[in-house]
Structure 1
């Protein structure tokens, strides 16, 4: 049975994949740290008693986390849009071929 050697992977494709994975991992680590730290602050607040102050850092940081998630989502989906626009422009410059 003949064995096929895998086709070489385009270095640009590897760079693009690494960038996309970095964006996702950055957001996932941010979200994990958010959950761990805010769970600790909430537990401290409950055991300490008194008014619920842990809501404020959770809300403020949550806004930042949401912005990070939105920027990541737009960036990842924007790659496909950018590629489609580039292909359309190349086709237009080639005379519609």
Structure 2
């Protein structure tokens, strides 16, 4: 998505965030039903860092413009 518009990048981030929340909710329920060890405590922050980086790098005003690719 080198040349995606800001609206497209926002939509991509929103989809990522919704999938994160829904999947994490399911994983929490599964982990609570199966009991210890609480492995979801490793999954949530790890994936959360990925979501944070997606927002940080994907929603910058210059992200996706391909400005680094220009000679």
Classify the TM-score, shorter chain. Answer: 0.7 to 0.9
Match of 2:62 in 1: 78
Give 4+ residue runs of structure 1 displaced > 3 Å after superposition: none
1:12-91 matches, cutoff 5 A: 19-74=5-60, 77-78=61-62
Give the gaps of 5 or more residues in structure 2: 64-71
Q: Which has the higher contact order (CA 8 A, sep 6+)?
A: 2
Q: Distance in 1 between matches of 2:43 and 2:35?
A: 17
- Between structure 1 and structure 2, the one with the greater Rg is 1
Displacement of 1:72: 2.5
Q: Distance in 1 between matches of 2:62 and 2:45?
A: 28
Higher helix share: 1
Q: Distance in 2 between matches of 1:59 and 1:35?
A: 12
Two-structure CA RMSD over aligned residues (Å): 1.9
